[in-house]
Amino acid sequence: MGFEIGFYGIISEPVVGWVAMADAMVACGVRWIQLRMKHGSPAERLAVARAVRARIPVDFHYIVNDHPALALQVGADGVHLGQGDLSLEQAREVLGSTALIGLSTHSPDQVRSACALQPAYIGMGPVFGTTTKLDAEASIGLAGLASMARVATVPAVAIGGISGSRVAAVMDAGVDGFCAVGPVNASREPAAVIRSLLRSL
Protein backbone atom coordinates (compact mmCIF):
# COMPACT_ATOMS: atom_id res chain seq x y z
CA MET A 1 0.00 0.00 0.00
CA GLY A 2 2.94 2.39 -0.03
CA PHE A 3 4.88 4.07 2.73
CA GLU A 4 4.73 3.40 6.45
CA ILE A 5 3.05 6.13 8.49
CA GLY A 6 3.31 4.61 11.96
CA PHE A 7 1.86 6.89 14.61
CA TYR A 8 -0.30 9.63 13.06
CA GLY A 9 -0.66 12.44 15.58
CA ILE A 10 -3.93 14.35 15.94
CA ILE A 11 -4.02 17.47 18.11
CA SER A 12 -7.59 17.76 19.40
CA GLU A 13 -8.49 19.90 22.44
CA PRO A 14 -5.25 18.96 24.25
CA VAL A 15 -5.16 19.61 27.97
CA VAL A 16 -1.57 20.87 27.73
CA GLY A 17 -2.45 23.39 25.01
CA TRP A 18 -2.18 23.38 21.23
CA VAL A 19 1.42 24.53 20.90
CA ALA A 20 2.70 22.36 23.75
CA MET A 21 1.11 19.33 22.12
CA ALA A 22 2.72 20.16 18.78
CA ASP A 23 6.07 20.48 20.52
CA ALA A 24 5.61 17.10 22.21
CA MET A 25 4.80 15.39 18.93
CA VAL A 26 7.75 16.94 17.14
CA ALA A 27 10.08 16.01 20.00
CA CYS A 28 8.92 12.40 19.69
CA GLY A 29 9.53 12.37 15.95
CA VAL A 30 5.85 12.15 14.93
CA ARG A 31 6.06 13.09 11.27
CA TRP A 32 2.33 13.29 10.51
CA ILE A 33 0.55 15.89 12.65
CA GLN A 34 -3.07 16.91 12.15
CA LEU A 35 -4.77 19.88 13.79
CA ARG A 36 -8.39 18.99 14.60
CA MET A 37 -10.05 22.07 16.09
CA LYS A 38 -13.80 21.61 16.22
CA HIS A 39 -14.59 24.62 18.37
CA GLY A 40 -13.68 28.30 18.33
CA SER A 41 -14.28 31.21 15.98
CA PRO A 42 -12.60 31.44 12.56
CA ALA A 43 -10.14 33.95 14.03
CA GLU A 44 -9.28 31.60 16.90
CA ARG A 45 -8.79 28.69 14.51
CA LEU A 46 -6.52 30.80 12.33
CA ALA A 47 -4.43 31.89 15.30
CA VAL A 48 -4.03 28.33 16.60
CA ALA A 49 -3.31 26.91 13.14
CA ARG A 50 -0.60 29.52 12.57
CA ALA A 51 0.93 28.93 16.01
CA VAL A 52 1.06 25.18 15.42
CA ARG A 53 2.48 25.65 11.91
CA ALA A 54 5.36 27.62 13.40
CA ARG A 55 6.32 24.64 15.61
CA ILE A 56 6.33 21.93 12.94
CA PRO A 57 9.52 21.43 10.87
CA VAL A 58 9.22 21.74 7.12
CA ASP A 59 10.15 18.08 6.58
CA PHE A 60 7.21 16.93 8.71
CA HIS A 61 3.63 16.71 7.39
CA TYR A 62 1.22 19.29 8.83
CA ILE A 63 -2.43 18.54 8.06
CA VAL A 64 -5.46 20.69 8.93
CA ASN A 65 -8.78 18.94 9.52
CA ASP A 66 -11.88 19.90 7.51
CA HIS A 67 -10.85 23.33 6.19
CA PRO A 68 -8.87 23.60 2.92
CA ALA A 69 -8.97 27.41 2.98
CA LEU A 70 -7.49 27.46 6.48
CA ALA A 71 -4.80 24.99 5.43
CA LEU A 72 -3.90 27.32 2.55
CA GLN A 73 -3.84 30.39 4.80
CA VAL A 74 -1.35 28.91 7.25
CA GLY A 75 0.83 27.06 4.75
CA ALA A 76 -0.14 23.57 5.88
CA ASP A 77 0.88 20.60 3.75
CA GLY A 78 -2.66 19.42 3.27
CA VAL A 79 -6.11 18.76 4.66
CA HIS A 80 -8.09 15.82 6.03
CA LEU A 81 -11.69 15.51 4.84
CA GLY A 82 -14.59 13.57 6.32
CA GLN A 83 -17.45 12.02 4.38
CA GLY A 84 -19.56 15.15 4.85
CA ASP A 85 -16.88 17.71 3.99
CA LEU A 86 -15.82 19.22 0.68
CA SER A 87 -14.85 16.73 -2.00
CA LEU A 88 -11.24 15.92 -2.79
CA GLU A 89 -11.64 17.71 -6.12
CA GLN A 90 -12.88 20.87 -4.39
CA ALA A 91 -9.98 20.73 -1.93
CA ARG A 92 -7.53 20.35 -4.83
CA GLU A 93 -8.96 23.50 -6.41
CA VAL A 94 -8.11 25.38 -3.22
CA LEU A 95 -4.78 23.76 -2.33
CA GLY A 96 -3.29 22.70 -5.65
CA SER A 97 -2.09 19.42 -7.05
CA THR A 98 0.76 18.79 -4.60
CA ALA A 99 -1.25 19.07 -1.37
CA LEU A 100 -1.58 16.02 0.86
CA ILE A 101 -5.26 15.15 1.14
CA GLY A 102 -6.59 12.46 3.46
CA LEU A 103 -10.10 11.01 3.41
CA SER A 104 -12.10 9.34 6.19
CA THR A 105 -13.73 5.99 5.42
CA HIS A 106 -16.06 3.73 7.41
CA SER A 107 -16.73 0.73 5.13
CA PRO A 108 -15.08 -1.28 2.33
CA ASP A 109 -17.26 0.50 -0.26
CA GLN A 110 -16.12 3.89 1.01
CA VAL A 111 -12.51 2.66 0.89
CA ARG A 112 -12.88 1.70 -2.77
CA SER A 113 -14.49 5.02 -3.66
CA ALA A 114 -11.87 7.00 -1.74
CA CYS A 115 -8.91 5.10 -3.19
CA ALA A 116 -10.19 5.70 -6.72
CA LEU A 117 -9.56 9.42 -6.06
CA GLN A 118 -5.91 8.73 -5.16
CA PRO A 119 -5.65 10.63 -1.85
CA ALA A 120 -2.35 10.69 0.03
CA TYR A 121 -3.88 8.34 2.60
CA ILE A 122 -7.23 7.26 4.04
CA GLY A 123 -8.46 7.04 7.62
CA MET A 124 -10.36 3.91 8.66
CA GLY A 125 -12.65 3.66 11.65
CA PRO A 126 -13.71 4.08 14.26
CA VAL A 127 -12.15 0.73 15.09
CA PHE A 128 -13.39 0.77 18.67
CA GLY A 129 -15.79 3.04 20.53
CA THR A 130 -14.48 6.58 20.89
CA THR A 131 -15.43 9.59 23.00
CA THR A 132 -13.36 12.17 21.11
CA LYS A 133 -15.97 12.63 18.37
CA LEU A 134 -19.61 13.17 19.28
CA ASP A 135 -20.73 12.36 15.72
CA ALA A 136 -18.62 9.23 15.31
CA GLU A 137 -19.85 6.36 13.16
CA ALA A 138 -20.51 2.91 14.66
CA SER A 139 -17.30 1.05 15.49
CA ILE A 140 -16.08 -1.41 12.87
CA GLY A 141 -13.96 -3.69 15.06
CA LEU A 142 -10.74 -5.44 14.07
CA ALA A 143 -12.52 -7.67 11.57
CA GLY A 144 -14.09 -4.65 9.89
CA LEU A 145 -10.74 -2.90 9.83
CA ALA A 146 -9.08 -5.90 8.19
CA SER A 147 -11.81 -6.11 5.53
CA MET A 148 -11.27 -2.43 4.71
CA ALA A 149 -7.49 -2.75 4.68
CA ARG A 150 -7.69 -5.62 2.18
CA VAL A 151 -9.27 -3.39 -0.47
CA ALA A 152 -7.18 -0.27 0.19
CA THR A 153 -4.74 0.77 -2.52
CA VAL A 154 -3.31 3.83 -0.72
CA PRO A 155 -1.77 4.08 2.77
CA ALA A 156 -4.37 3.51 5.50
CA VAL A 157 -4.50 4.86 9.05
CA ALA A 158 -6.71 3.31 11.74
CA ILE A 159 -8.52 5.56 14.22
CA GLY A 160 -11.00 5.24 17.05
CA GLY A 161 -10.53 4.00 20.60
CA ILE A 162 -6.95 2.83 20.04
CA SER A 163 -4.73 2.54 23.12
CA GLY A 164 -1.28 1.07 23.61
CA SER A 165 -2.59 -2.40 24.37
CA ARG A 166 -4.47 -2.46 21.07
CA VAL A 167 -1.76 -1.15 18.75
CA ALA A 168 -0.28 -4.51 17.77
CA ALA A 169 -3.66 -6.02 16.88
CA VAL A 170 -4.63 -2.90 14.92
CA MET A 171 -1.41 -2.89 12.89
CA ASP A 172 -1.75 -6.65 12.29
CA ALA A 173 -5.05 -5.91 10.54
CA GLY A 174 -3.01 -4.56 7.63
CA VAL A 175 -2.93 -0.80 8.06
CA ASP A 176 0.05 1.54 7.63
CA GLY A 177 -0.52 3.66 10.70
CA PHE A 178 -2.77 4.44 13.65
CA CYS A 179 -4.08 7.35 15.70
CA ALA A 180 -4.62 7.50 19.46
CA VAL A 181 -6.44 10.78 19.94
CA GLY A 182 -7.89 10.39 23.43
CA PRO A 183 -4.92 8.96 25.36
CA VAL A 184 -2.52 11.59 23.99
CA ASN A 185 -4.69 14.70 24.21
CA ALA A 186 -6.05 13.88 27.67
CA SER A 187 -2.57 13.50 29.15
CA ARG A 188 -0.57 16.17 30.96
CA GLU A 189 2.55 14.27 29.87
CA PRO A 190 1.76 13.60 26.21
CA ALA A 191 5.36 12.91 25.21
CA ALA A 192 5.47 9.96 27.62
CA VAL A 193 2.22 8.59 26.19
CA ILE A 194 3.46 9.01 22.61
CA ARG A 195 6.74 7.26 23.35
CA SER A 196 4.84 4.38 24.91
CA LEU A 197 2.66 4.13 21.79
CA LEU A 198 5.72 4.19 19.56
CA ARG A 199 7.24 1.34 21.56
CA SER A 200 4.03 -0.62 20.88
CA LEU A 201 4.88 -0.51 17.17
CATH number at residue 121: 3.20.20.70
Does pLDDT of 92 surpass 90?
yes
pLDDT confidence of residue 138: 85
Query: Strands (DSSP E) along the chain, which ranges?
Result: 6-11, 32-35, 61-65, 78-81, 100-105, 121-124, 156-158, 177-178
> Which residues are bridge partners to 104 per DSSP?
123
Q: Does the residue 153 lie in any domain?
A: yes
Torsion of CA 98, 36, 131, 121, to 10 degrees: 10
Q: 157, 121 in Cβ contact below 8 A?
A: yes
Q: Which domain holds residue 34?
A: 6-200
Mean pLDDT of the chain: 94
Q: Does the residue 92 lie in any domain?
A: yes
Q: Does the residue 123 lie in any domain?
A: yes
Q: Does the residue 1 lie in any domain?
A: no
Does pLDDT of 80 surpass 70?
yes
Does pLDDT of 127 surpass 60?
yes
Contacts 24+ apart (CB under 8 A), 39-48: 39/13, 45/70, 46/70, 46/73, 46/74, 48/18
Number of domains forming the structure of the chain: 1
Phi-psi region of 71 (alpha: psi -120 to 50; beta: other; left: phi over 0): alpha
Q: Does the residue 66 lie in any domain?
A: yes
Torsion of CA 92, 98, 103, 109, to 10 degrees: 90
pLDDT tens sequence across 175-196? 999 999 999 999 999 999 999 9
pTM: 0.94
